[in-house]
Structure 1
Amino acid sequence: MERNSNQKMVRAKEAATYLGIGESTFWRWVAQGKIPQGIKFGTRCTVWRLEVLDSFIEQHEKVAI
């Protein structure tokens, strides 16, 4: 699978900021399955694609309407 160089990846702290929530809330939502699991690069490095976070936002915008 070829990765598009435009696909930015962010770690949990930046992802939480992007969503406008706290980091502990972000991790709780991941544990609850509200936010998809990230991609693990090691025991202490997990990242999320911004397109996945954008999709999460879009799904919740549709529910809120």
Structure 2
Amino acid sequence: MQATDRLLRDKDAAEALGVSKTTFWRRVNDGTVPPPVKIGGSTRWPQSEIQAVIERAKATRMAAA
């Protein structure tokens, strides 16, 4: 059985990244965070995509060191 990828609201995704909702939306607009998945009237981000943003930032940090 395959585990499901939890969908996060903007508030929860921003919290995972340690930023405000305003900054989170700035990162969506500048392409740092991928665009949301729209399901009906809901706007959500797969948790794996938010984790990938964190992993990319860590990799960039390691490459710069």
TM range (shorter): 0.7 to 0.9
Once the two structures are TM-superposed, the CA of residue 42 in structure 1 deviates from its matched residue by 3.9
Give the TM-score, by structure 1 length. Answer: 0.84
Task: Mark the runs of 5 or more structure 2 residues left unpaired by the alignment.
Answer: none
Letter in 2 for 1:64: R
Query: Which residue is 2:14 aligned to?
Result: 16
Give the 4+ runs in structure 1 shifted more than 4 A.
Answer: none
**Which residue number in structure 1 is paired with residue 51 of structure 2?**
54
Root-mean-square deviation (CA, aligned residues, Å) is: 1.3
SS in 2 for 1:52: helix
Q: CA deviation at 1:40?
A: 1.2
Structure with the higher fraction of residues in helix conformation? 2
Could you tell me the percent identity over the aligned residues? 31
